[in-house]
Structure 1
Amino acid sequence: MIEAPAGHGDEEDDMSAMVPTGPSLARAYGTRASSLRLTRRGRLLLTLVLLIGMLALAVAWGPSVVATDGAGEPVPVRTVTVQPGQTLWDIAAASGLGGDLRAAVYEMQRLNGLDDAGLLQVGQQLAVPTG
């Protein structure tokens, strides 16, 4: 038996507790004391730390936007007024750009700040690339 003081030095607290020696709790349950078991909170904390680390790595080594010293090449455009029933695809086909219409539609969306090809209003002025 090991005797351990239970109090803080007061006369009333000068009691001792007897702790039996013998097999450890781990040995009693057939496992080793060195085996590590994380609680639910421990697993959550470990996952959170790993996610924060991965986010930090992604920010540090991820792609970044690089500004140049010079201005970009201006795109030659002409202005077209949207007629009833017209879509960006119709305007791109009528613009005479040739080639891939998807690229022309994308360029018109980019030039005019459009999110969706279906959101045109009759009378709306659109910049259409000419070259």
Structure 2
Amino acid sequence: MLFCLLLAVAGGLFTLVGVPGQAADRPGPAPVVIVQPGDTLWDIATRHSGVRRRDATIEEIRRLNHLDGYSVDAGQRLTLPRQR
């Protein structure tokens, strides 16, 4: 009985140590969007993160893309923030 318990604990520890956590995963490339005719930062942020995080997402898009204002042009390539 004690041997089985020790074996189970050792197996559990091996599993925890042997499998890298999510924090160890390398992040993939940042998402990118090509601005379509008629798109605004408001539209892009809403599609990307929803209404609740829209304002913060707009500011993050501006920061990531070094935008001084809030205007975007059709065909412009924008890096988007990673989803949290």
Q: Shorter-chain TM-score category?
A: 0.5 to 0.7
Q: Gapped runs of 5+ residues in structure 1?
A: 1-73
Structure with higher strand content? 1
Corresponding position of 1:125: 77
Secondary structure at the aligned position of 1:105 is classed as helix
Percent identity over the alignment? 45
Q: Gapped runs of 5+ residues in structure 2?
A: 1-26
Structure 1 segments (4+ residues) deviating >3 Å: none
Secondary structure at the aligned position of 2:80 is classed as strand
Corresponding position of 1:90: 43
- Tell me how far apart the structure 2 counterparts of residues 81 and 105 of structure 1 sit (CA, whole Å): 15
Deviations 1:86-111 (A, max 9, x none): 0011000011x233211000000000
Q: Which has the higher contact order (CA 8 A, sep 6+)?
A: 2
Does 2:71 correspond to 1:114? Answer: no
Does 2:30 correspond to 1:77? Answer: yes
- Matched residue type, 1:130: R
- Tell me how far apart the structure 2 counterparts of residues 77 and 89 of structure 1 sit (CA, whole Å): 19
| TM-score normalised by length of structure 1 | 0.39
Which protein is bigger by CA-based radius of gyration? 1
- The offset of 1:121, in angstroms, is 1.4
Corresponding position of 1:101: 54
Secondary structure at the aligned position of 1:113 is classed as coil
Computed over aligned residues only, the root mean square deviation of the Cα atoms, in angstroms, reads 1.7
| TM-score normalised by length of structure 2 | 0.59
How many residue pairs get matched? 55
- Tell me how far apart the structure 2 counterparts of residues 77 and 130 of structure 1 sit (CA, whole Å): 6
Structure with higher helix content? 2
